[in-house]
Structure 1
Amino acid sequence: MEKKVFSIDGKELRTITLDDNVFGLPVNEDVIYYAITNELANKRVGTACTKTRSEVHGSNAKPYKQKGTGHARRGDKKSPITRGGGTIFGPKPRDFSYAIPKKAKRLAMKSILSLQAQSDRVVVVEDFTVESGKTKDLLKVLNNFVKDERTVVILKDDDGKIKQAGRNIRQLSFLSYNRLRAHDLFYGRKVILLESAAKNLSEFYKVEEEAK
């Protein structure tokens, strides 16, 4: 797949060939769903907690006699059928995280990249950074490619300066080429791919395929 490479000023510089094994695959919607669901589940805190009748504070005394009142028999005020009593089958702290096969996760990332490339949402930009770490300097670059839409920037490495410049931009996410997130990639309306990151992605997935 051929893509144009743009300068940070938005001018066309050259063309680059994107690896069809990463950006030209048929889109597998099922595995994308599994990957996104897995990421969301792994982010859940799982701290919701309710008290059972044994944990509710209150008297153990029988509130009224067993027979003759016309009410249902009741052992104590902590009964779940009493106002302020315990909760039946309520949530308890738990771990919602689980793992999916590496091959499935790898296929999901390549499917999303292929989907975004085929939808013409991927823009390849020459390598750049923001030495000042200032948001206004990063916005000068981004405004040449996006207009107030959810954007993902795929970096060639863990660039702290550019992340510092973009942390105040609400609709912007940064991903390193070797640590992609399915949720951010899939819902990004525009994917800005640094030129070196495009090459690194090809090498990264090629090495993984050879290691299988």
Structure 2
Amino acid sequence: MPTVAVYNTAGEQVSELQLNDKVFGAAIRPDLMHQVVLQYLANRRAGTHKVKNRSEVAGGGRKPWRQKGTGRARQGSTRSPQWKGGGVVFGPTPRSHAISVPKKVRRLALYSALSSKVAEGKLLVLDQLEIPAPKTKEMASVLKTLNLSKALIVDSEKKQPVYLSARNIEGVKYMEANGINVYELLRHDHLVLTKDAVAKVEEVFA
């Protein structure tokens, strides 16, 4: 079982914590993480892109000129795709970009992402994270003390003062344990978990 130090917000070690081997000591699988990140990004797409084909473009009801005798190519409508202002051929239409990935693969990818943070020494566990009133300066001070810049901060539940204090800091994201995902884990250099968040992650995902 991996063992990590537990710090307070002043950067002092206060205890040690044993992590669940299944969640934080799993084999690191870049292939599975790649699959899940692709799914996450694809599922975020709105899929509302749209162009008009020749049946939807306004105008073009009259035949531009007679079929024969003009010496020009035959034309049926000024809204055919080859005309300026005509419809678009094979353009994008609204559709779903969603990709399906099995639940087991998603779970293994999450274990892999969490385990990679432990293996790289980029997991920091705090005994607790409390900010009495929303103040960005206080959160910035805590991060500076812990020597963190681009970090994902995870708590067992969303605390509004902490969320409001962290949301304006570039490169920092605060979220609750239930919402943890592979994309956010890989996007941030460091992972900061409170002790309660560790317990929640192990309870939910183990």
In structure 2, the residue matched to 1:38 is: 39
Secondary structure of 1:143's counterpart equals: helix
C-alpha distance in 2 between matches for 1:144 and 1:68 = 85
In structure 2, the residue matched to 1:178 is: 178
Deviations 1:106-146 (A, max 9, x none): 11111100111111111111112212011111112111223
Q: Check the 8 A contact 1:32/1:108 in 2, yes or no.
A: yes
**Partner AA of 2:189 in structure 1:** R
In structure 2, the residue matched to 1:209 is: none
Q: Check the 8 A contact 1:123/1:193 in 2, yes or no.
A: yes
C-alpha distance in 1 between matches for 2:70 and 2:39 = 54
**Partner AA of 1:162 in structure 2:** V
Query: Which stretch of structure 1 is more off in the superposition, 105-114 or 125-134?
Result: 125-134
Seq. identity, %: 31
Deviations 1:38-84 (A, max 9, x none): 11111111111100101101131122333455543221100001111
C-alpha distance in 1 between matches for 2:3 and 2:152 = 20
Secondary structure of 2:140's counterpart equals: helix
Secondary structure of 2:174's counterpart equals: strand
**Partner AA of 2:169 in structure 1:** I
C-alpha distance in 1 between matches for 2:73 and 2:181 = 55
Task: Trace 1:26-175 onto structure 2 (pairs within 5 A).
Answer: 26-147=27-148, 149-175=149-175
Structure 2 spans left out of the alignment, 5+ residues:
none
RMSD value, Cα = 1.6
TM-score (norm 2): 0.92
Deviation at 1:199, TM superposition (A): 2.1
Secondary structure of 2:16's counterpart equals: strand
Q: Check the 8 A contact 2:10/2:146 in 1, yes or no.
A: no
TM-score (norm 1): 0.90
Secondary structure of 1:37's counterpart equals: helix
